[in-house]
Amino acid sequence: MNPPPLDDVIAAIEKHQSFIIAGHVGPDGDAIGSGLALRLALEALGKEASLVSSDGVPPACRFLPGWQSVTGTVSRQPQCAIVIDCNGLPNRVAAPYHFIENARYKVLIDHHRTSRPIFDVNWIDASQPATASMLYQVLKRFPITITADIAQCLLCGLSTDTGNFRFPNTTPESLLAASELVSLGADPALIAFKLFDERSLESTRLLGMALQKMQAECQGELMWTALTAGDFESAKTGDEGSENIVNVLRSVRGARMAIILRERCDETGPVARISVRCDPELRADLFCEQFGGGGHAAASGCRMRYRPFAESVQVVVKAACDWLQEDHPPLEFEEGKI
């Protein structure tokens, strides 16, 4: 088993002065929290760094230190691109991709099973519960103080991808890291409330619509719902209002897979955004990969374009019913060989 390329990541940071940091489309607490922590650390080292998210910052993360600094682009070409929490491909990176392509040096840091090495340095480790846990290992090697702000951002990432330490990827190491981050000033109660409990009035209305439209298939093993553009308009909210609705569906007793489909628009036009939660052995990452997406074994997402929303719903629901009847590759892997 090869050691993680920590030294290569650190060397890339030491060698360059300006950085663009980018995560995945539809960012979550791990992408935003990890990116903010890295930006704060790079600035503490005297570097120039921008965290870019063309999809903005989800409301659940708008309590993190420095979230207002997240931008949709950069004004000039940085020397080094650091892509975090996704596979680094153009359709998954939430940033103008020419800034990634034209960077003198490129670094990928990710914990998704479906990622492949495509950059100059590639640290891909699916045994890690979150990208935040990987970056914590990097930041501990820097000659800086891990401040309470950095700790808060890292714990947000770790809490997001472990489901507030309830998912099967919660390990003794992740709990130890969380303990250290709390001792450095992170606030676990605030993070848990903001990520998993707090909802706006508009998103609560949308949740009611989603539950009214909820359907059960495959003897209750599949729960799904579909929200149209009209539903979002009626609730007076955007896609951020649908955050965590899929987890409510997943909590239905007997459900092994839950799916929410949302009719939205992006730079290409109409798009169906799809979020999937399931038993890990059902491999949500592989299910979404067939539609151009990816993620984790228990939580993944994808987008479908160039077809009517109702047709996308039919295609995904049928594929999910078929998926529940099939066998899927086991979760066994070797670190660094995804």
* Residues with Cβ within 8 Å of residue 227, at least 6 apart in sequence: 206, 209, 210, 213, 242, 260, 261, 262, 263
Which domains does the chain carry?
A: 6-196 (3.90.1640.10), 201-324 (3.10.310.30)
Q: Is the pLDDT of residue 212 over 50?
A: yes
| Angle, alpha carbons 59-64-66 (nearest 5°) | 110
pTM: 0.87
pLDDT exceeds 50 at position 337:
no
Length of the chain: 338
Per-residue pLDDT reduced to its tens digit, 28-69: 999 999 999 999 999 999 999 999 999 999 999 999 999 999
Q: Dump pLDDT digits (tens) for 130-148.
A: 999 999 999 999 999 999 9
Nearest to 298 by CA among 312, 286, 316, 311: 286
pLDDT at 162: 93
Question: Average of pLDDT values for 90-116?
Answer: 94
Predicted confidence (pLDDT) at residue 296 exceeds the cutoff of 90: no
> Is the pLDDT score of 269 beyond 90?
no
| pLDDT at 2 (0 to 100) | 58
3 has pLDDT over 80: no
Please determine, for residue 336, whether its predicted confidence score (pLDDT) is greater than 70: no
Q: How many CB atoms lie within 10 A of CB 15?
A: 11
pLDDT score for 320: 98
Residue 194 to residue 43: CA distance in whole angstroms = 26
Q: Write down the mean pLDDT value for the chain.
A: 93
Is residue 168 very low, low, confident or very high in pLDDT (cuts 50, 70, 90)? Answer: confident
DSSP state of 212: H
Rg (CA), the chain: 19
The 10s digit of each residue's pLDDT in 241-252 is 998 999 999 999
For residues 44 and 144, is the Cβ–Cβ distance under 8 A?
Answer: yes
Whether 268 shows a pLDDT value over 80: the answer reads: no
Which pLDDT value is given to residue 334? 35
- Dihedrals φ, ψ of 272, to 5°? -100, 115
pLDDT of 288 > 80? The answer is yes
